[in-house]
Structure 1
Amino acid sequence: MAASDEAAEGTVETGVVRVPEVCDEKHGQDRLPRDYTLWLVGILVSLVGNEVFYFALGWEASEHGGSVAALALSAITLPRVLLLLVGGAVSDRVSARRVLITGDAAMLVFSLALATAAYYLGATPLLLIATGVAVGVVDAFYLPASGSMPRRLVAKGQLPRALSLRQVGGQVISMGGGPLAGVLVGLVGFAGAAFVNALTFAFTLVVLIAVRPRHDVPRVPKTDGLLKEALSGVKVAFSHPVLRPGLLLTGAAAGFLLPVLSLLVPLLAREEEWGAGAAGLVLGAQGVGMVAVTLVVVRRGPLGRPGLMAASALILAGVGVLVLGLSPGATASVAAGLVIGIGNGTFSAHIAPLVLASSPDSHLSRIQAVLVLVQSSALLLMNNVLGALVDLRGATVVVVACAVMLVGVGLTGLASGPLETTERD
């Protein structure tokens, strides 16, 4: 980043840490750059393809039984987790844009080859598992690079609005992607879904070639080995006064909030005999609350000091989870879902730009790799732990326990000096 850019963005001086500003008045009111808008369109189109493809992969794998389905999905997760840190180091070394272009080109070729193979040979278990491995490997390099791109395309002051807009788009696609995927897979099958995915990768590839980062940073010199550079990202992340508590809050949200939505709501609905419709309404209300908050941030910018807002949002989400666990009926549970969504949306809209703005220019992709690793590891671990606890103690007890943990972590975040001293402008 040029010295003039750094001077324009500024920093906030505190007694213990010099924290990059997350928002300033001038940048907060400017329109987002054209290159960012174009990149976001490409990412969202690619996300539609992913929704269709992941549904098709799980659907075809389920035809061969639970073991094959689990292997196909684990084949994505395992290489992604193992290679994330290396992927972040590669992105910082050779530039995020090149990594994204290479990843999209590779997935375009792979998706076309997969569509051809599935059309002539069928979706065999070996083909599905190999597909999972290929997707997981590419994701390990693609996700850190993609996570760092907003910092390279917009000024730091615009990050809350830029990331919130991305979150809104992703949430809308996630809500509509399931039904769309079901229809498409029913019409064109696994081979057709792979071909649709290839088309979205082709579109995104063209977009990436056209996009030029406005706030790119110098690449890391090749003075150390790749593994040492990868581990450097972990060291920087957990020694930084703002990144460390920010990552811990993120891990807590991934471990105690996300499983409530994906795992515990269905189990609680079955235990309380609310029915599948009520469970769907809870998740829908959560989505509405989340989108509503992020739209406000897109329009107005951050709602307060990002660190304090993120910690307070976990407390609000924890209160919503507590109400959900103690709800006497389905109606109250839907209201609780709305509160959870508001807390979840507020947390995401403030913690993501805080982490990205606080990341050193030399470690943008590596910090994103650590962020994804923290989220993935916490979610993977707690899904299994909480599922086992439900079998032992029941869903209500586990939901209440998650609420207590969220409130406790949020209160701890409010007491964090570095998070307290981060300024909105």
Structure 2
Amino acid sequence: MSASEGAAEATTKAGGVPGPRAGDEGQARAGLPRAYVLWLVGILVSLAGDAVFYFALGWAASKYGGTVAGLTLSAITLPRVLLLLLGGAVSDRVSARRVLITGDAAMLIFSLVLAAVAYSLGAPPLLLIATGVAVGVVDAFYLPASGSMPRRLVPKAQLPRALSLRQVGGQVINIGGAPLAGVLVGLAGFAGAAAVNAVTFAFTLVVLTAVRPRHDVPPAPRSDGLLKEALSGVKVAFSHPVLRPGLWLTGAAAGFLLPVMSLLVPLLAREEQWSAGSAGLVLGAQGVGMVAVTLVVVKRGPLGRPGLLAASALVLAGAGVLGLGLAPGPTAATAAGLLIGVGNGTFSAHIAPLILASSPDTHLSRIQAVLVLVQSVALLLMNNVLGALVDLKGATAIVVACAVMLISIGLAGLTSGPLRNDRTGLVKR
């Protein structure tokens, strides 16, 4: 543990809620460490490669119909969900950086082999499904390690800005990745996409070998077995006074907020007979709202107590979803999309650094594994449940129901004293 982290432990308030320190203000306002910026560049390049590759994988699978396409996507999700907790335990035990380097090296080799095989044989269903399994297994180890790296590279006081910058970069890639992927796949096919992905993994691998964590923590002490260590992450996460409500709020956002934009907006647009362009404007407005909030956090840091703002942001997003469900036309729906984006952006910019900063040093990757697991399970479950309910009750009723759930869960989050009063990342002004 570094000297600054030791001071944080010494000044921790009762209930495990850290208070601001005199040194936090200088840290929070200083520029982000060069090591973090370099790592972030590598991660964003890798995300761009993933955007191209995932589009190519889905496009190739769609040639064989919905069943093969569904199996290919499930082949990624299932091993990821099953192995996430184990992946977090391995990362805490042997070092997140080593896990990331190993994962990038493995995917570099796999992508080169896949490009060669696809160039020779094309993209038969079995190859696509096997590719999904390989990606899902590596993701299960890679995602917890990657999620813990900001805590290892920047001081706690800078986490809100650091994570918001990462979120902005991810949003930009999401916006531009699909058109770029379509062009590349059209020119070079599935084999070309795999080759491009290999190049991005090679770049990220070089970056990771150059980056050295400045705030690294010693490996977690070994217990009787890796499975026990993996389950320890769940126990710690749901017994912690701040992490427990934070994870519940995150699960609620994944289950009742994310499907609104990806699933329910297209269904609502068809039900209300809006054009595809109108639906796109709603999604674009949501993206604008998210980016605007996260840019503010990048510039000035957290906007207030993170737990209080995260819970309040779910209420705000729920109000936007309610406006979307009751919108009389595309113009009002676009305004509602902007409000949803502001709420979603505020939530994401505050809950992520709160969970990462509140995680015990011995469980950084394991808590990230639990976080990804909560999001994945909630999203996987609710996409199917909400889709089935739309067929029964109509899109408008289900959008309004999601709004009610978001507002109710946000208000419930405000009743948690440890979450509401946590001041992680705040500095005296």
TM-score when normalising by structure 1:
0.98
Displacement after TM superposition at 1:291 (Å):
0.2
Structure 1 Cα separation of the partners of residues 224 and 105 of structure 2: 28
Distance verdict in 2 for CA 1:107–1:386, change over 3 Å = same
Aligned to 1:186: 186
Aligned to 1:19: 18
Equivalent residue runs for 1:260-275 within 5 Å = 260-275=260-275
Query: Do the aligned residues in 1 keep the contact of 2:318 with 2:404 (CA within 8 Å)?
Result: yes
Distance verdict in 2 for CA 1:125–1:342, change over 3 Å = same
Distance verdict in 2 for CA 1:20–1:254, change over 3 Å = farther
Query: Do the aligned residues in 2 keep the contact of 1:21 with 1:156 (CA within 8 Å)?
Result: no
Structure 2 Cα separation of the partners of residues 21 and 214 of structure 1: 21
Task: Show structure 1 runs of 5+ residues with no match.
Answer: none
Structure 2 Cα separation of the partners of residues 117 and 413 of structure 1: 51
Aligned to 1:278: 278
Aligned to 1:50: 50
Equivalent residue runs for 1:101-112 within 5 Å = 101-112=101-112
Structure 2 Cα separation of the partners of residues 53 and 212 of structure 1: 28
Structure 1 Cα separation of the partners of residues 404 and 369 of structure 2: 29
Equivalent residue runs for 1:199-214 within 5 Å = 199-214=199-214
Q: In the alignment, is residue 133 of structure 1 matched against residue 133 of structure 2?
A: yes
Moved more, 141-150 or 273-282: 273-282
Aligned to 2:412: 412
Task: Show structure 2 runs of 5+ residues with no match.
Answer: none
Structure 2 Cα separation of the partners of residues 410 and 166 of structure 1: 25
Provide the alpha-carbon RMSD of the alignment: 1.3
Structure 2 Cα separation of the partners of residues 331 and 68 of structure 1: 38
Displacement after TM superposition at 1:56 (Å):
0.1
Q: In the alignment, is residue 307 of structure 1 matched against residue 310 of structure 2?
A: no
Aligned to 2:365: 365
Displacement after TM superposition at 1:4 (Å):
4.2
Distance verdict in 2 for CA 1:399–1:10, change over 3 Å = farther
Query: Do the aligned residues in 1 keep the contact of 2:17 with 2:422 (CA within 8 Å)?
Result: no
Runs of 4+ more than 6 Å apart: none
Which residue identity lines up with residue 324 of structure 1 in the other structure?
L
Structure 2 Cα separation of the partners of residues 415 and 8 of structure 1: 26
Superposed CA offset, 1:316-369 (max 9, x none): 000000000000000000000000000000000000000000000000000000
Q: Say which SS state the counterpart of residue 123 (structure 1) adopts.
A: coil
Structure 2 Cα separation of the partners of residues 2 and 59 of structure 1: 48
Aligned to 1:156: 156
Query: Do the aligned residues in 2 keep the contact of 1:325 with 1:400 (CA within 8 Å)?
Result: yes
Structure 1 Cα separation of the partners of residues 211 and 225 of structure 2: 30
Structure 2 Cα separation of the partners of residues 104 and 115 of structure 1: 16
Query: Do the aligned residues in 2 keep the contact of 1:11 with 1:18 (CA within 8 Å)?
Result: no
Aligned to 2:402: 402
Which residue identity lines up with residue 332 of structure 1 in the other structure?
A
Structure 2 Cα separation of the partners of residues 388 and 186 of structure 1: 34
Structure 2 Cα separation of the partners of residues 21 and 189 of structure 1: 53
Displacement after TM superposition at 1:220 (Å):
1.3
Displacement after TM superposition at 1:224 (Å):
2.3
Which residue identity lines up with residue 346 of structure 1 in the other structure?
T
Query: Do the aligned residues in 2 keep the contact of 1:81 with 1:376 (CA within 8 Å)?
Result: yes
Displacement after TM superposition at 1:289 (Å):
0.4
Aligned to 1:247: 247
Displacement after TM superposition at 1:20 (Å):
6.5
Aligned to 1:422: 422
Q: Say which SS state the counterpart of residue 212 (structure 2) adopts.
A: coil
Structure 2 Cα separation of the partners of residues 162 and 296 of structure 1: 12
Query: Do the aligned residues in 2 keep the contact of 1:9 with 1:157 (CA within 8 Å)?
Result: no
Q: Say which SS state the counterpart of residue 215 (structure 2) adopts.
A: coil
Displacement after TM superposition at 1:7 (Å):
1.3
Structure 1 Cα separation of the partners of residues 4 and 349 of structure 2: 27
Displacement after TM superposition at 1:17 (Å):
3.3
Structure 2 Cα separation of the partners of residues 148 and 401 of structure 1: 34
Distance verdict in 2 for CA 1:10–1:399, change over 3 Å = farther
Distance verdict in 2 for CA 1:21–1:247, change over 3 Å = farther
Displacement after TM superposition at 1:12 (Å):
4.2
Structure 1 Cα separation of the partners of residues 373 and 329 of structure 2: 37
Which residue identity lines up with residue 36 of structure 1 in the other structure?
Y
Aligned to 1:67: 67
Query: Do the aligned residues in 2 keep the contact of 1:81 with 1:373 (CA within 8 Å)?
Result: yes
Which residue identity lines up with residue 70 of structure 1 in the other structure?
G
Q: In the alignment, is residue 287 of structure 1 matched against residue 287 of structure 2?
A: yes
Aligned to 2:84: 84
Superposed CA offset, 1:371-397 (max 9, x none): 000000000000011001100000000
TM-score when normalising by structure 2:
0.97
Structure 1 Cα separation of the partners of residues 113 and 19 of structure 2: 45
Structure 1 Cα separation of the partners of residues 81 and 422 of structure 2: 30
* Seq. identity, %: 80
Q: Say which SS state the counterpart of residue 18 (structure 2) adopts.
A: strand
Structure 2 Cα separation of the partners of residues 421 and 281 of structure 1: 37
Superposed CA offset, 1:261-292 (max 9, x none): 10000000000001111111100000000000
Query: Do the aligned residues in 2 keep the contact of 1:9 with 1:21 (CA within 8 Å)?
Result: no
Distance verdict in 2 for CA 1:87–1:115, change over 3 Å = same
Query: Do the aligned residues in 1 keep the contact of 2:250 with 2:375 (CA within 8 Å)?
Result: yes
Displacement after TM superposition at 1:415 (Å):
1.2
Structure 2 Cα separation of the partners of residues 17 and 316 of structure 1: 28
Query: Do the aligned residues in 1 keep the contact of 2:17 with 2:418 (CA within 8 Å)?
Result: no
Q: Say which SS state the counterpart of residue 302 (structure 1) adopts.
A: coil
Which residue identity lines up with residue 193 of structure 2 in the other structure?
A
Structure 2 Cα separation of the partners of residues 402 and 47 of structure 1: 30
Which residue identity lines up with residue 277 of structure 1 in the other structure?
G
Displacement after TM superposition at 1:10 (Å):
6.4
Query: Do the aligned residues in 1 keep the contact of 2:8 with 2:18 (CA within 8 Å)?
Result: no
Structure 1 Cα separation of the partners of residues 133 and 367 of structure 2: 24
Q: In the alignment, is residue 166 of structure 1 matched against residue 166 of structure 2?
A: yes
Which residue identity lines up with residue 2 of structure 1 in the other structure?
S
Which residue identity lines up with residue 363 of structure 1 in the other structure?
H
Displacement after TM superposition at 1:27 (Å):
1.4
Query: Do the aligned residues in 2 keep the contact of 1:254 with 1:379 (CA within 8 Å)?
Result: yes
Superposed CA offset, 1:18-61 (max 9, x none): 43759931211010000000000000000000000000000000
